[in-house]
Chain A
């Protein structure tokens, strides 16, 4: 794919993701907190309080089926367990609980006009920069492409 149409396609996916996350309520700190606490602080688990969790789990399952159906023989890059997997995952989860966002959500929050999310985004950029430098020093990078 030539570069200009590719950039347009990438932007379209970005727009779609942002639109979807906002419309679902993933940018709502309270909703995300409810998701992570299984609704126990919002009247208990119910289809209403677990909706974001259902959306996420449902998405993973649908994606699984979709890849099997349409891309079974394709070779996507493998994601092996490596040195940064566990500690990275734990740190990321803790940060998500505090900011209400993963990298995407923080950006969408900022886009929605939530100025304070600028602090989250700044943190994401800073954390990414520091971790990449550290991982390079420690030789923790696998060199496999993530995205």
Chain B
């Protein structure tokens, strides 16, 4: 399994998930699966490339964390 450091999402510096969730233990799982590998499948990345605004707490799988439970 070759790992290249070029497989990092170019938008990490400005992605709001890091300021909002960075200090929480679970974010590392998401970054390992998306930001550091299959970032093209990240819903946030796709939305950004389509020029659409992104909710601050939308996870890479498209689910949005909100009070009262998740919303797809």
Contacts and interface: CB of A to CB of B under 8 A. Distances in A.
Interface string A62-88: 000000000000010110000000000
Interface residues of B, number: 10
A132 to B, nearest CB: 5
B39 to A, nearest CB: 11
- A contact patch SS: loop
B48 to A, nearest CB: 3
Contact of B49 (A75, A78, A132, A139): A139
B29 interface: no
Nearest to A80: B10
Interface residues of A, number: 12
Interface in A29-76: 75
A135 B50 CA distance: 8
A126 to B, nearest CB: 16
29 contacts: A75-B13, A77-B13, A77-B14, A78-B13, A132-B51, A135-B51, A136-B49, A136-B50, A136-B51, A136-B52, A139-B49, A141-B48, A141-B49, A141-B50, A141-B51, A142-B10, A142-B49, A143-B10, A143-B11, A143-B45, A143-B48, A143-B49, A143-B51, A144-B10, A144-B11, A144-B13, A144-B14, A144-B48, A145-B14
